[in-house]
Amino acid sequence: MLDQRSSENPADNTTSPASPGLSAVGSRRRRVDPAGRVRGRVTHVGDVDPGSTSTAHVALHRSTRPHARIRSVEVDEALAIDGVQAVVTGADLYAALGEHVLTGPAFQDQPAMAYDRVRYVGEPVAAVIATDLATARAATESVHVDYEDLEAVYDVDDALTGRAFVHDELRPSAVFGDLRHLNGVRDTNVNYEFRLARGDTDAVETAATGVQRRFWCPPTHHVPMELPCTVAWVEGNRLEMLTTTQTPSYVRQTVADMLRLPLSDVQVRTRPLGGSFGSKMYDRLEPLAAAIAWVLRRKVRVVASREEAFLLTTRHGARVTSAMRADADGDLVAATADIIYDTGAYADVGPRITGKSGMVASGPYRIPNVSIRSRCVYSNKPSAGPFRGFGVPQVTWSHESLIDELARRTGEDPYAYRRRHLLREGDVAAMGTVMHSADFTGCLDAVAEAVDWANPPERGEGRWRRGQGIAVGVKAVLTPTVSNAVLQLNQDASASLLISTVEMGQGSDTIMAQIVAEVLRIDSHRVHVVPADTDVTPYDTITAGSRSTYHTGNAVRLVAEQMRERLLALAAEQSGVPAGELRLTEEGISGSGHPEPLRVEDVVLRHFRARGTTLTCASNFTTDWVPYDRNTGQSAKVTEHWFAGAVAVRAAVDTWTGRIRLEHLAVSGDVGKAINPFLVEQQLSGAAITGIGHALFDELVLDQGQFVNGTLLDYQLPSLGDMPDRLTPIIVESPHRTGPFGAKGVGETGILAVAPAIANALRDAVGVRLTELPLTAERVLNAIERKRAEESPQESRQQSPQESQEGNQ
Amino acid sequence: MSRISLVVDGNRYVAEITDSALLLDVLREQAGATGVREGCGVGACGACTVLVDGVSVSSCLALAERYDGARITTASGLPADDEVVESFVECGATQCGYCIPGFVMMAHELLTENPEPDKEDVVRHLDGNICRCGTYAEIRRAVLAAAEKRRAR
């Protein structure tokens, strides 16, 4: 069952109907077009004319080598096939566009298609353009590439100590000033290093109790159910596209740079996405589709098969070698972490992930001495990029396992021990920023109470053992960023909101309408949010990093407030009552001298003397930060706000099979203020379910740079049967002083602490500490058997051959 | 090339198809049934599920030529007062919604076979469908609610 906290009434378990009231801020109103979603009538990018005969279909010939120089590409055989219209190679694009074919958010390192060198198995080398997709896909087999193999970098050890380099030199993009010093650096696979130093970590030596481990999180994939799809064409001298992206403003800039066009000559449109979780952002299919459309002057459609979608991006595999120390009183005195993020062949935002996750690697705790080194390395594998949590789940895995073990070593309860050390309002975190609106203790208390932490389960003695585990997580919102909003109030008192936030299931269209409704006192169902279209909707940094509720939400609040002032001014003009004495309510505009309210419809009608007219306002909301010091990682304001979350788990472990069964999982998040509590609960639960996959089985397996399980027949994802017996999402509200109505985002909060909470429950149940994810039945069983052998060596038939392989990848 | 006829959500379509054409592509490209979606191409996610004479079929694995004359139901074609659709809406059993039509069709098949399913029956029957947004609790509740609604009507 899905619990709703403090709601005994079963009616609260469903969403509210459209009425009564405005369905504004705080309402559990249904998301936009629920019946359309249930019936499949919401149109996604790939649903727009899928079998179009006026569009050419693109399929890609992909590299079979992890690292090689391209000697030649033979295309004649493919060109001779019926229905094939053209074959474009990476070299063709390079000839037409030069170095501009290289794009990337942090480093300008990724070619639209490989032209001189391939850097991972599956990298596009040539594109076949044909009358239909089946023909194009079949013809890719007839493209032949002659390679000269190069030594490859397969893992983080190769990357750090080997002689092979994925790129000859580092090429930071123009976007981030703090990467400029890396320009031209040669003979390294380390494209970014973040260092944090606070206090004196030599104190580690004198500490009474310490725990040190090496942790490993494998690469994983987002697997949104919708496949990536881009349609691109040339209209006049403009490049136009319809594409599955979370970052339309970024894509417009990238395509404009690549084709050397003014921004006004690039149009990027989206439709609601069928999930994304970080996979459909920055440079995916778009540079390639734009370049091919531009060179051929043809309308082209590129859609990734599921197998190809696995190649487009991944979550960073990460190794964390870390320690936590406490003094004789059990007080935390020091934490260290050495983190390596494997970013694959192209940096994507790996350097950003490395810094922003590295800075929270010691957790949300009061620790006087902290030392962190976080590095991002290239390897010859598909590129890794953002994934719900932005690198933070990998470090949370480390600090929440360490502190749990430390609590046990000091003889304290893991919940109480965390509580004692958690950062409170006004505390300064390890990177030097003051905490505000980050209620870690509230989140921790809520999940502990939900699973009845004070009354732990009977451990049991037979096949099944039970335990409980708990963990917290902290993440910073992406800062600095920019959001804009344009609002058109229609004469009939409905509204059209123009923002570039992309609806992808998180419910942004719904909550933005609720914010407008709250300010303008209209029913939120009368507010339409226009899908992102860079010709129409204004710049917005990205729809990611849980930033939209706060940033775009603030822009939307501001634009609605402007509109309210505008209406009051018009009403003042028309009624003679000073605007300061007028008030906008659900009934209309009223003031002391006007008992009969003026209807908004009439005010606008009287102003323009025409029906169907629109009033327009625009707003901007921009946040800023203090870049962290390059040597110490210190910043007085590293982020605009914090996400705080906690997870508690009751689990049963089958000691015969190693299987973990989740009996109850509670997940809490401090969201400042829930604009729509139902959607917030879905974000918390949904993130937790993704986290359960990462904890128990979700893993991309590579062998010499080649995916072993890159299809959904082989790649396991959570399904209904993997649900905990009970799942309880809990909203914690510690209002943010500048959030819209106190609100912050929530998309990532629920995923942060899931894996360590489950591992801590496993530790509680059977006494084994695993440091490698996922917690597969095999790993659990091996650990249990190892422990048994250690405890009674004479009874075990043989010493367990499985030595610990912590973080060997 | 051959010619088949399909009845999709009550409307008759005649489609020109190649021998290797998949039912999924014919439905999407020739019958406009874009609520039937590809998620994996290997029958492992359920997003492309349709009912053929009441029985669930993964249309991404189905050769179209084998379905000449078939009556196919998709989520778009369910009646206005369909209990499953209503319950999914009322229980908030969608996030992005991409996968949901597949769950709706599986729920229909389940309720035809077993009008009074319990929680475990729902899990067993719908366990082959993937919702990556993680809407499982709401989906489970919606299917049970739909069964109740049907019994009450």
> Could you say which of B133, B136, B140 has the minimum Cβ distance to residue A275?
B133
Residues B88 and B134 in one domain: yes
Q: Which residue of B has its CA nearest to A509?
A: B96
Q: Is residue A113 assigned to a domain? A: yes
Indicate the pLDDT class of residue A803, thresholds 50, 70 and 90: very low
Number of domains forming the structure of chain A: 3
Chain A residues closer than 8 Å to B76 by CB: 39-41
DSSP symbols for B25-68: HHHHHHS--TTS--SSSSSSS-TTEEEETTEEEETTT-BGGGGT
Residues A596 and A678 in one domain: no
Q: Which residue of B has its CA nearest to A685?
A: B134
Out of B77, B103, B126, pick the residue that ends a domain: B77
CA-closest candidate to residue A369, choices A485, A528, A530, A210: A210
> Could you say which of B35, B45, B126 has the minimum Cβ distance to residue A225?
B45
Out of A595, A622, A649, pick the residue that ends a domain: A622
Does A717 contact B at CB distance below 8 Å? yes
Residues A410 and A290 in one domain: no
Residues B34 and B52 in one domain: yes
Q: Any idea which of A196-205, A618-627, A692-701, B143-152 has the lowest mean pLDDT?
A: A196-205
Q: Which residue of B has its CA nearest to A30?
A: B92
Residues B66 and B87 in one domain: no
Could you tell me whether strands A527-530 and A495-498 are parallel, antiparallel, or unpaired per DSSP bridges?
A: parallel
CA-closest candidate to residue A547, choices A681, A473, A669, A640: A640
Indicate the pLDDT class of residue A202, thresholds 50, 70 and 90: confident
- In this predicted structure, what is the pLDDT of residue A710? 96
Indicate if the pLDDT at residue A9 is higher than 80.
Answer: no
Q: What is the mean pLDDT of residues A497-526?
A: 98
Q: Which residue of A has its CA nearest to B130?
A: A719
* DSSP code of residue A449: H
Instruction: Provide the domain limits for residue A138.
Output: 54-151+228-303
Residues B106 and B48 in one domain: no
Residues A514 and A601 in one domain: yes
Does A160 contact B at CB distance below 8 Å? no
Please provide the distance, in angstroms rounded to a whole number, between the alpha carbons at the two ends of chain A: 38
Residue written as token pair 């019946």: A35
Chain B residues closer than 8 Å to A307 by CB: 41
Residues A774 and A691 in one domain: yes
Residues A644 and A727 in one domain: yes
Bridge partners of residue A496, in order along the sequence: A488, A528
Residues A556 and A651 in one domain: no
Residues A136 and A59 in one domain: yes
Q: What is the mean pLDDT of residues A530-539?
A: 98
Q: Is residue A327 assigned to a domain? A: no
Out of A562, A594, A622, pick the residue that ends a domain: A622
pLDDT, tens digit (0-9, with 9 covering 90-100), for A674-707: 999 999 999 999 999 999 999 999 999 999 999 9
Q: Is residue A156 assigned to a domain? A: no
Q: What is the mean pLDDT of residues A161-168?
A: 96
Q: What is the mean pLDDT of residues A263-281?
A: 98
Residues A604 and A718 in one domain: no
Q: Please indicate whether, in this complex, the C-beta atoms of B42 and A686 are within 8 angstroms of each other.
A: no
CA-closest candidate to residue A565, choices A583, A590, A546, A547: A583
- In this predicted structure, what is the pLDDT of residue A19? 44
Indicate if the pLDDT at residue A592 is higher than 80.
Answer: no
- In this predicted structure, what is the pLDDT of residue B139? 98
- In this predicted structure, what is the pLDDT of residue A795? 57
> Could you say which of A38, A274, A727 has the minimum Cβ distance to residue B85?
A38
Residues B101 and B147 in one domain: yes
Chain A residues closer than 8 Å to B38 by CB: 46, 227, 306
Chain A residues closer than 8 Å to B47 by CB: 225
Indicate if the pLDDT at residue A10 is higher than 80.
Answer: no
CATH of residue B119's domain is 1.10.150.120
| One-letter identity of residue B34 | T
Residues B39 and B65 in one domain: yes
Q: Which residue of B has its CA nearest to A504?
A: B96
Indicate the pLDDT class of residue A6, thresholds 50, 70 and 90: very low
Nearest CA distance, B120 vs chain A (angstrom):
9
Q: Is residue A547 assigned to a domain? A: yes
* Cα A625 from chain centre: 20
- In this predicted structure, what is the pLDDT of residue A203? 63
* DSSP code of residue A529: E
- In this predicted structure, what is the pLDDT of residue A805? 39
CATH of residue A548's domain is 3.30.365.10
- In this predicted structure, what is the pLDDT of residue A800? 41
Nearest CA distance, B3 vs chain A (angstrom):
17
- In this predicted structure, what is the pLDDT of residue A327? 92
CATH of residue A95's domain is 3.90.1170.50
Mean pLDDT over all residues of chain A? 94
Out of A622, A655, A681, pick the residue that ends a domain: A622
Q: How far is CA A537 from CA A388, A543, A639, in A?
A: 25, 13, 26
Q: Which residue of B has its CA nearest to A14?
A: B91
Q: Is residue A567 assigned to a domain? A: yes
Nearest CA distance, B132 vs chain A (angstrom):
6
Residues B69 and B23 in one domain: yes
Out of B77, B111, B138, pick the residue that ends a domain: B77
Residues B37 and B65 in one domain: yes
**Is this prediction's ipTM beyond 0.90?**
yes
C-beta atoms surrounding A644 within 10 Å: 30
Residues A701 and A760 in one domain: yes
Residues A677 and A694 in one domain: yes
Q: Is residue A739 assigned to a domain? A: yes
CATH of residue B56's domain is 3.10.20.30
Q: Is residue A340 assigned to a domain? A: no
Indicate if the pLDDT at residue A416 is higher than 60.
Answer: yes
- In this predicted structure, what is the pLDDT of residue A147? 98
CA-closest candidate to residue A301, choices A285, A281, A312, A313: A285
Residues 29-48 of A with CB under 8 A from B: 30-31, 34-44, 46-47
Residues B58 and B92 in one domain: no
Q: Please indicate whether, in this complex, the C-beta atoms of B127 and A720 are within 8 angstroms of each other.
A: yes
Out of B77, B98, B116, pick the residue that ends a domain: B77
**What does the pLDDT profile of chain B (153 residues) look like in tens digits?**
899 999 999 999 999 999 999 999 999 999 999 999 999 999 999 999 999 999 999 999 999 999 999 999 999 999 999 999 999 999 999 999 999 999 999 999 999 999 999 999 999 999 999 999 999 999 999 999 999 999 998
Q: Please indicate whether, in this complex, the C-beta atoms of A277 and B95 are within 8 angstroms of each other.
A: no
* DSSP code of residue A16: B
The helix or strand, by DSSP H or E, that contains position A645, with its residue range, turns out to be strand A642-654
Indicate if the pLDDT at residue A509 is higher than 50.
Answer: yes
Number of domains forming the structure of chain B: 2
> Could you say which of B40, B122, B133 has the minimum Cβ distance to residue A306?
B40
Residue A571 dihedral angles phi and psi, to the nearest 5°? -65, -35
Residues A757 and A783 in one domain: yes
- In this predicted structure, what is the pLDDT of residue A342? 98
Instruction: Provide the domain limits for residue B118.
Output: 83-152
**Cβ within 8 Å of residue A674, ≥6 positions away:** A26, A680, A731, A733, A743
Residues B72 and B89 in one domain: no
Indicate if the pLDDT at residue A13 is higher than 90.
Answer: no
Residues A639 and A529 in one domain: no
| One-letter identity of residue A486 | V
